[in-house]
Amino acid sequence: MSTDYQTNEAKSLLRRVLDSDIWYSFKKSKVTMVAAGVALIIFLAALLAPLLAPHNPFDLASLSLMDSLLPPSWTGMGDPRYLLGTDDQGRDVLSTILYGSRISIAVGLASVAFAAVLGITLGLVAGYMGGAVDAVIMRVADVQLSFPAILIALLIDGTISGLTGGVNREETAFTVLVISIGLSFWVQYARTVRSSTLVERDKEYVQAARLIGLHPFLIMLRHVLPNVMGPVLVIATINLALAIITEATLSFLGVGMPSTQPSLGTMIRIGNDFLFSGEWWITLFPGALLAVLVLAVNLLGDWLRDALNPKLR
Amino acid sequence: MIAFVIRRIIQSIIVIMVVGLVAFVMFRFVGDPVNQMVGLETSIADRELLREQLGLNQPLIVQYWHFISNAAQGDFGTSYQYRRPVSEILGERLPATLELALVSAIFAIAAGIPMGVYTALYRDSVLSNIFLTVSLIGISLPSFLVGILLIFIFSVHLQWLPSFGRGEVVDLGWWSTGLLTATGLKAIILPAITLGLFQMTLIMRLVRSEMMEVLRTDFVKFAKARGLKTRVVHFGHALKNTMIPVITITGLQFGSIIAFAIITETVFQWPGSGLLFLQAVQNVDVPIMAAYLLMIAFLFVLINLIVDVLYVVVDPRIRLEGS
C-alpha cells in the first residue's frame, strides 16, 4: 500500500512538473533547451572526469616531458594518444580540461552557495530586525556594491594570503577562492531577501507566529524564509556564471588555483605564455569550453528570470 | 539644492572614511609594517624604537586618524616591494590607465550607440540579430579571453598590432602620453577594445531598450504625424531623449572600467595602475593595495557625486523632491 501511495505521489509530482508553466516555457524555447543540454553535458563530463579522461593529469608518474607541447592529434604532427595535444608538462589537454572544468564548476557552485547563505541570512536579519542592525548591514552592502566584485575578490584574496603568509597555497587555494568570490557576491541576495522580508514580516501569518511566542530565529527560518526564496534561485543561476568567470579570471591573474591543480582559468594562463610560439591549443581549448559553459549558464539564468517573472507572462 | 549637495558630500565622505577604515585595517594588520621595513639582523630594541617612531604604539583610533590625514595629503607610505613612496609610483602609472580607460570609453560609446539605435529601429533585420548575438557573447566571454583571442588573431596571426606595452610615450610634464606617437596609438587599439567591449554591449542594450520605449511615446507619434522626416524624428526627437540614462550609465561605468583595467593590463602587460595593483596583491604589498583601494573609492564617490548633482541640475522633478 505504502509503495503504491509513494508511486502515486511521485507520479503526481512528475505530472505537476510537466503541467507547470515553467516546463511549458522551457519546451517552447529551443535556445533554452540547447543551453540546458550543453550545460548538462559539461556538468556530467566534469563530474565523471575520472572515468572519461584518457589520462590522469595529477598522476605525475604517468607524465613524460618527452610528450610536452604536442599539437592536437588530427593536425598530423601530434600523438594519437593525445586528442587535443599536451601542455608544457606533457599533460594531456583533454584530460586536464575535464579535470579543470570540475574544479571550475566546484569553485563556482561552492562560492555561489556560500554567497547565498551569507546573503540570505544577512538579508533576513536586516529585514526582520530592522533598526540599527538593518542600517549597518545595508550600508555595508551599499559601499560594497559600488566596487566591482573582481576588485573585492582580489583584495580579499591578497589579504588572506597576507595573513597566512602565503604558505600551503596549494592546499588552501580552493577555500581562499570560495571565500573571496563568496564575499564579493553576497550583496545582491541580501538586498533581494531583505526587501521581500520587509513585505512578509507584517503579514498575518508572521504576526500569528509572533503571537504564539515563537523565537524570532524560528519565525525567520521556518515561516519567512520559504516565502522569500523565489528570486534567490534566479540570482543564484545568473551568479553561477559570474562566479565561474570570476574564478577563471582570478586563476588567470595568477592568484587562483595553482598550476598543479589547474582550473580552466589556470590552463588559459599557462597556455597564454605559449601562444606566441604557436602552441595555441593549450589556451584555446579550455577557453572555448569556458566560454560555452558560461554562455549556457547565462542563457539558462535569463530564461529562468523571464519564466519566473509573472509580469512577462 | 545646496542642502542636497551638502548632504551628498557628507554621505560621500562617510563612504570614503569607511573604505579608509578597511584600508587601514589591512595596512595595519596584514603583515607587520616593522618587519617589512627592517632587515633580519635588526635587534629587538631597534625594532621597538622604529615602532615608536612610526607611531604604531599609539591608540588605534589615533593611528587611523594619522593614516587618513596622511592619505588625504597624498601620503600612502612606502611600498614594500619598491622601497619608494606609493604616491610617486601610483603617479607614474596612473596616466597609462586613465588613457586606456578614456579610449575604451570612447570606443564603447562610438560603437554602442549606433548599434543600439540600429537594433531598435530595425528590430527583425539580420544585422540586428547578429548585433544582439554578438552582444550576448560579449557579455559571456570573460574579458581576459577576449584579449587573448584578439592577440591570437591580430598579433600572432596577422601581425598587425603589438600585443604588449604602450609603444613610445611622450612626456608632457608629469603626464606621459602614448596617444601622440604612431606606435603608441597602435598599441592602445587591442587593449581598448578588450576593455570597452563589455561597456559597448551594455550601452547598446540600454540605447536599444530606451529607443524602443521612446518610439512608442506620443510625442514621437506626433512628430511623425506632423510629417517630419524619419531621420529627424529618430535622431532629433527619439535619440535625444534616450541620452540621459545613457550618459548616467556611461559615467557610472567609468569607475568600473578603471577597475576592470586590472585584467586588461595584465593580458597586454600595459604598464598602468591595475598591473601595479595585481603585482601588489601577489606580493602582499599592502601599502599599494590600500592606496589603490582608496584611489578607486575616491573615484567612484566623485563620479557618483557628479552624476547625482548633474541629475538635479537636469531634472527639475528631483529638485522639487529634495526641497
Chain A residues inside the 8 Å CB shell of B277: 154
Question: What top-level class would CATH report for the domain B90-287?
Answer: mainly alpha
* Nearest CA-CA partner of A152 in A168, A164, A141, A139: A141
The pLDDT of B292-311, averaged and rounded, is 82
Query: pLDDT grade, residue B323 (50/70/90)?
Result: very low
Distance CA A233, CA B202 (A): 24
Superfamily designation of domain A32-59+67-312? MetI-like (1.10.3720.10)
- Tell me whether B299 touches chain A (CB under 8 Å): no
Higher-pLDDT residue of B157, B314: B157
Give the domain ranges of chain A: 32-59+67-312
pTM of the model: 0.82
Higher-pLDDT residue of A3, A94: A94
Long-range contacts of B89-94, Cβ-Cβ distance < 8 Å, separation of 24 or more? B89/B276, B89/B288, B90/B273, B90/B276, B90/B288, B90/B291, B90/B292, B90/B295, B91/B174, B92/B176, B93/B271, B93/B272, B93/B273, B93/B275, B93/B276, B94/B272, B94/B273
ipTM of the complex: 0.79
Chain A residues inside the 8 Å CB shell of B259: 147-148, 150-151
Cβ distance B145 to A253 less than 8 Å, yes or no, reads: no
The pLDDT value recorded for residue A116 is 93
A57-66, A188-197, A263-272, B263-272: segment of lowest average pLDDT: A57-66
Cβ distance A298 to B31 less than 8 Å, yes or no, reads: no
Maximum pairwise Cα distance, chain A: 77
Give the domain ranges of chain B: 90-287
Maximum pairwise Cα distance, chain B: 88
Higher-pLDDT residue of A122, B135: A122
Chain B residues inside the 8 Å CB shell of A148: 256, 259-260
Our measurement of the distance from residue B105's CA atom to the centroid of its chain's CA atoms, rounded to an integer in Å, reads: 9
Query: pLDDT grade, residue A184 (50/70/90)?
Result: confident
A118-132, A190-204, A298-312, B58-72: segment of lowest average pLDDT: A298-312
The pLDDT value recorded for residue A65 is 67
The pLDDT of B82-87, averaged and rounded, is 83
A190-233, pLDDT tens digit by residue? 998 998 888 888 888 888 888 898 888 888 888 888 888 878 88
The pLDDT value recorded for residue A1 is 44
The pLDDT value recorded for residue B19 is 84
Comparing CB atoms, the residue among B151, B152, B260 nearest residue A148 is B260
CA atoms within 13 A on the CB side of B153: 6
The most confident of A140-144, A293-297, B34-38, B163-167, by mean pLDDT: A293-297
B156-206, pLDDT tens digit by residue? 878 788 877 777 777 777 777 777 777 778 888 889 988 888 888 888 888
Nearest residue of chain A to residue B23 (CA atoms) = A155
Cβ distance B263 to A150 less than 8 Å, yes or no, reads: yes
The pLDDT value recorded for residue A5 is 57
Distance CA A261, CA A278 (A): 24
A123-137, A164-178, B204-218: segment of lowest average pLDDT: A164-178
Cell numbers found for residue B33: 609594517
Cβ distance B148 to A275 less than 8 Å, yes or no, reads: yes
The pLDDT value recorded for residue A147 is 77
The pLDDT value recorded for residue B84 is 84
Cβ distance B300 to A151 less than 8 Å, yes or no, reads: no
CB A178 within 8 A of CB A107: yes
Helix (H) or strand (E) holding B177: strand B175-177
The pLDDT of B91-109, averaged and rounded, is 88
- Tell me whether B140 touches chain A (CB under 8 Å): yes
Nearest residue of chain B to residue A283 (CA atoms) = B148
Nearest residue of chain B to residue A297 (CA atoms) = B140
The pLDDT value recorded for residue B314 is 66
Mean pLDDT, chain A, integer: 81
DSSP letter for B175, please.
E
Report the DSSP pairing between strands B175-177 and B170-172.
antiparallel
Q: Is the pLDDT of residue A102 over 80?
A: yes
> How many interface pairs between A and B have CB atoms less than 8 angstroms apart?
109
DSSP letter for B85, please.
B
Cβ distance A287 to B149 less than 8 Å, yes or no, reads: yes
A9-13, B82-86, B127-131, B244-248: segment of lowest average pLDDT: A9-13
Q: Is the pLDDT of residue A312 over 60?
A: no
- Tell me whether B15 touches chain A (CB under 8 Å): yes
Query: pLDDT grade, residue A9 (50/70/90)?
Result: low
Q: Is the pLDDT of residue B320 over 60?
A: no
Cβ distance B18 to A143 less than 8 Å, yes or no, reads: yes
Q: Is the pLDDT of residue B295 over 50?
A: yes
Higher-pLDDT residue of B75, B107: B107
Query: pLDDT grade, residue A7 (50/70/90)?
Result: low
Give, in order, the Cα–Cα distances in Å from B136 to each of A292, B55, B216: 12, 53, 25
Q: Is the pLDDT of residue A112 over 90?
A: yes
> What percent of chain A lies above the pLDDT cut of 90?
8
Query: pLDDT grade, residue A11 (50/70/90)?
Result: low
The pLDDT of B62-80, averaged and rounded, is 80
Q: Is the pLDDT of residue A118 over 90?
A: yes
Q: Is the pLDDT of residue B109 over 80?
A: yes
Q: Is the pLDDT of residue A161 over 70?
A: yes
Cβ distance B278 to A163 less than 8 Å, yes or no, reads: no
Q: Is the pLDDT of residue B34 over 90?
A: no
Nearest residue of chain B to residue A242 (CA atoms) = B140
Q: Is the pLDDT of residue A179 over 70?
A: yes
Chain B residues inside the 8 Å CB shell of A159: 26, 30
Higher-pLDDT residue of B182, A243: A243
Higher-pLDDT residue of A142, B262: B262
